[in-house]
Amino acid sequence: MTEGIRDWLTGIIAAALLLTVVYGIIPDGTVKKISKITGGLLMMIALLRPVTGLNLETLSSNMTAYRAEIGSYGENIEQANGHLLKTIIEERSAAYILERAEASGINCNIAVACKTGEDRYPYPYEATITGSLSQKEKKTLRSLLEADLAIPGERVHWKTEE
């Protein structure tokens, strides 16, 4: 492609140089006016040469391939954004519950996992809590998760620290 552009520019420059030499040699008068019109047409041909060489079938297939490639980029970006949004929601939800647990005097680690809904937006789905917790602390955490993140108790997993 760059070779084609280079050839096109070389043609334009060559035509301009040729016309400059011809205009300098020709004396003023009717002949010079006719040569300027002819020179203008020659420059127009040099400028439009790439358009005359276009293969419309190739151009159409290239445009179709380009659109398909752009579409795949859009899908990839949408997937990456969805994954990023899911990660952000998981981290912020876990940090929020951990902050609430520490305010209640509970020492533990919390991981929240999200699930993508029908509307393609992730929401907190389950939680894993790691720590040596009493039944009262587990009940408090279960209540926090149900009230603040809508994670029911059956989707809360408990692990003891080793």
CATH number at residue 138: 3.30.300
Note down the domain range covering 39. 2-54
pLDDT at 54: 66
Sign of the four-CA dihedral 95, 101, 106, 109: negative
Give a yes or no: residue 65 inside a domain. no
Residue 154 has pLDDT above 90, yes or no: yes
Quote the mean pLDDT of the chain. 87
- Please check whether residue 126 lies inside any domain of the structure: yes
The amino acid at 149: L
* pLDDT value, residue 15: 86
Are β-strands 109-116 and 156-159 bridged in parallel, bridged antiparallel, or unpaired? unpaired
95 & 150 share domain? yes
More confident residue, 1 or 152: 152
Assigned domain for 64 exists: no
User: Is there a domain that residue 38 lies in?
Assistant: yes
Domain assignment of residue 153, yes or no: yes
Band (pLDDT 50/70/90 cuts) for residue 94 is very high
Q: Which of 39-43, 60-64, 66-70, 87-91 has the highest mean pLDDT?
A: 87-91
148 and 85, same domain (yes or no): yes
Number of domains in the chain: 2
pTM above 0.85, yes or no: no
Length of the chain: 162
Tell whether the model's pLDDT for residue 64 goes beyond 80: yes
- Is 103 among the domain residues? yes
User: Is the predicted pLDDT of residue 1 greater than 70, yes or no?
Assistant: no
Query: Quick one: pLDDT at residue 11?
Result: 84
